[in-house]
Amino acid sequence: AGAGAALPSQGPWLEAQAAAAQDADVLLFYGCRRADSDLLYAGDWARLAQHQDPSVAVLVALSQERQSAAGGKQYVTHLIQQHSRRVHRALVLRGGGVWVSGRGGRMPRDVRAAIAAALVAEGLQPAEAEAFLAQLVKDKKYIVEAWA
């Protein structure tokens, strides 16, 4: 999951992961305000979004342009919850990891809570979801790169 300013560091990594996605899912949950001014590398993301491998997905939340299913602004956290099955598959079933990058403050905490909620929606108990995420952190498979 990443905010707009995080893309310079995520772009090459994501492209490499998509190219090597044989036994892994690559999900980019990307958030920014507006497509016309904040959607950096839009052409690259569009190309990756059309990747023929269904295990590769680019999911964009535009908080000033799109509404969440519940109404109000759409954020990455909404997309994570909407795609709970894919998140569960990537993390629990396929042994994936998480890289959260972007603005600090509430965003990293909110993304973690959304991932936990997605795992609960797919059958884990809340304590199991938290323990699973804690293990990812311990195994260095849950990375947060955030700044103020």
Mean pLDDT calculated for residue range 82-94: 95
Which is more confident, 38 or 14?
Answer: 38
pLDDT over 70 percentage in the chain: 78
Q: Model's pTM, two decimal places?
A: 0.82
Higher pLDDT, 69 or 92: 92
**Interatomic CA distance for residues 46 and 33, integer angstroms:** 17
Phi, psi of 33 (to 5 degrees): -80, -55
pLDDT reported for residue 13 = 57
CA-to-CA distance for 3 and 16, rounded, in angstroms?
19
Look at residue 30 and give its three-state secondary structure.
Answer: strand
The pLDDT assigned to 5 comes to: 47
pLDDT digits (tens, 9 = 90+) for 105-138: 999 999 999 999 999 999 999 999 999 999 999 9
Residues 6+ apart with CB under 8 A from 10: 2, 28, 99, 101
Share of the chain above pLDDT 90, in %: 42
Long-range CB pairs of 120-124 (<8 Å, 24+ gap) are: 121/81, 121/84, 121/88, 122/84, 122/85, 122/87, 122/88, 122/92, 123/88, 124/88, 124/92
CA separation for the pair 47, 77 (Å, rounded) = 23
Name the region of 58 (left: φ>0; alpha: ψ -120 to 50; beta: rest). beta
